[in-house]
Structure formats: structure tokens, C-alpha cells
Amino acid sequence: MKTMVVGASSGLGRELATELARRKHDLVLVASGRRDLEALAADLTLRHGVAVELVALDLATAADPGARLLAALDAESALDALLLPLGMSRGHDDFSLDAAAIGELLAINLHAPLAIIHALLPRLLAAQGVIVLFGSVAAVRGRGRNVVYAAAKRALVSVYESLRQRFAPGQLRVQLYEPGFIATNLTWGMRLPMPASDPARLARQIVAGLGRGSRRRFVPARYALIAALLRGLPWALYRRMRA
């Protein structure tokens, strides 16, 4: 099994890479920090005996990240799974960002996943593989905060549907996970309305589901109820939830 994890150096991505290595997947790890990637690759190889390739790539500035990753794979190499737990949010994403900042958020949260999927699709189809996308509970309903981030994450729902509509389950499986708050450096120090989830636990759940069919899940599952409540909230009430 060869699996690529994009955004692997920290947070949920690192935990996914660790869990995959524990289950003996050979890995291609992608992130911006070469030193972090090298450390993770060494650790996973030593602890679990798996082969790990790494690609240091700044997704905010890479014009064609898909081509870079395709070039990093051997010509003959199949790809069984592509996990895209990459993401970036910013403070002041409340209609205060300039064009450059908006472009950076869209590049990481939307352009990069799309470009990578496009480039690697033939390899995944050859292996009858699986693509795992990561949306966000923040995208369930538009708010005055996380404007660009949520827009990009909601666009991934559309990508998920497009892939499922285009390819039969026997050709390609597509999974979309929409996490709530996760206990990573991104949420550290924030006042959150509910406890953040353990990324290692989420990783175990997601990796355990890799062999299953296409699916869309909120993780942890309690966020499905929260999403339903948010969606069902009358507009007049929802509009008042500006905090």
C-alpha cells in the first residue's frame, strides 16, 4: 500500500501519517517544512519499518503542486490512497483580508487539493484507490468569520460530489471528513465553545475507514448533530450568533 499525505508535518496530518505507518503503509509525505518532514520520516521508518518518501513543498506559492507531486512518484508507482488534511486559517478572516491573503488561503485550502487530485487521478484510478478530503464544520453555514476559509472548505464538498458523480465506486472511492475543533497548534490558546478532539483518535478512525466505500462524515460524530442544528436554525436566530 502506498499512501500520500499532504500536510503531514503537524496536527491531524502528522497523526494520520503515524497511524498509516503503524498499519504498514508505505508513505509519501508532503509539507512545507523539510526539517519537520525529515524528522517524521526518520521516526516512522525507525519505529514501523515502512518506506517513506518526502516532498517539501510550499502549497501557498507552488504554481502547480500536482505536477510536483506527480514528478516525485516513480513512473510505475501506483497510489492507493491520497489524504489531503491540509488547511490554513487566519485571524481577521472577516472581510478584512487583502487580496494576497485571500489568495494564500484559497491556494492552500482549495487550489492545492484540486490541483493535486487532477494530477494524481490517473494513478489513483489505476489502483482503484481512495481520495480522502477534509472539510470543516466551519463551512456548514456561512458566518462573518472564517469567510474565505469556510468558502474554500465548502467548495471541497462540491469537489467530493463531483468525484463521486464522475467515477463509479469500483473505479475510485471518495471520502469527505468534516472535523470540528481539533487539539492542534491551530486551536491552542483559543477559547472554544466545546472541547477540541484528540487528533490521534481522529486519525485512527479515519485510517480504519480507508478500506470502506465512499462516505461523508462529521468527526467526531457529535458534530453531525451540531451541523444539523446550525443548518436548521431560523435565519433570524442564526444572524444573531455573531460572536
Partner 1 sequence: MRGYALGESHLTSFDRQFEALCRVQRPDRYRLLDALPTDVPRIPRGGGVSYVAASFGAGGVSQELGAFDRLLAFDEAAGRLTVEAGARIGDVQRFLLARGWYLAVAPGHPRASIGGCIAADVHGKNPARDGTFRSQVEAMELHAPLRGTVVASRQRNPELFEASCGGLGLTGSIARVRLKLARPPSGLVMRRVPVTSLAEAAAVLRESANARVLYGWHDGRARAFGRGVVWVGLSSDRAEGAVEDMPPRDADLPATVRALPFEVWNRAGIAAANGWLGWRWRRAGQSPESLAAALFPLNRARVYFAGFGKAGMAEAQWLVPHRRFDAFAEALADEVARSRPRITLIASKLFAGRAAGLSFDGNGVALAIQLAAPREAPQQRFLEALAGLALAHEGRPNLIKDSSLDGEVARRGIAGFDTARGQLAAHNPGGLHGSELSRRLGL
Residues in contact with partner 1 by CB under 8 A are: 9-11, 14, 33, 35-36, 39-40, 42-43, 46-47, 89-91, 184-186, 188-190
* Among 70, 196, 52, 54, CA closest to 122: 70
* Among 91, 142, 85, 130, CA closest to 109: 85
CB of 36 to partner 1, least distance (A): 5
CB of 197 to partner 1, least distance (A): 16
State which residue, 26 or 38, has the beta carbon closest to partner 1. Answer: 38
State which residue, 42 or 225, has the beta carbon closest to partner 1. Answer: 42
DSSP H or E segment with residue 27? strand 26-31
State which residue, 90 or 204, has the beta carbon closest to partner 1. Answer: 90
State which residue, 88 or 233, has the beta carbon closest to partner 1. Answer: 88
Residues 6+ apart with CB under 8 A from 224: 217, 218
Q: What is the dihedral of CA 95, 230, 228, 158, to 10 degrees?
A: -10
CB of 188 to partner 1, least distance (A): 5
DSSP H or E segment with residue 4? strand 2-6
Kindly tell me the burial class for residue 215, based on how many C-beta atoms sit within 10 Å of its own C-beta (0-12, 13-18, 19 or more): middle
Q: Determine contact, residues 5/27, Cβ cutoff 8 Å.
A: yes
CB of 53 to partner 1, least distance (A): 17
H helices present in 1-98, as ranges: 11-22, 34-48, 65-72
State which residue, 149 or 218, has the beta carbon closest to partner 1. Answer: 149
CB of 194 to partner 1, least distance (A): 16
CB of 24 to partner 1, least distance (A): 17
State which residue, 46 or 99, has the beta carbon closest to partner 1. Answer: 46
10 Å Cβ neighbour count for 186?
16
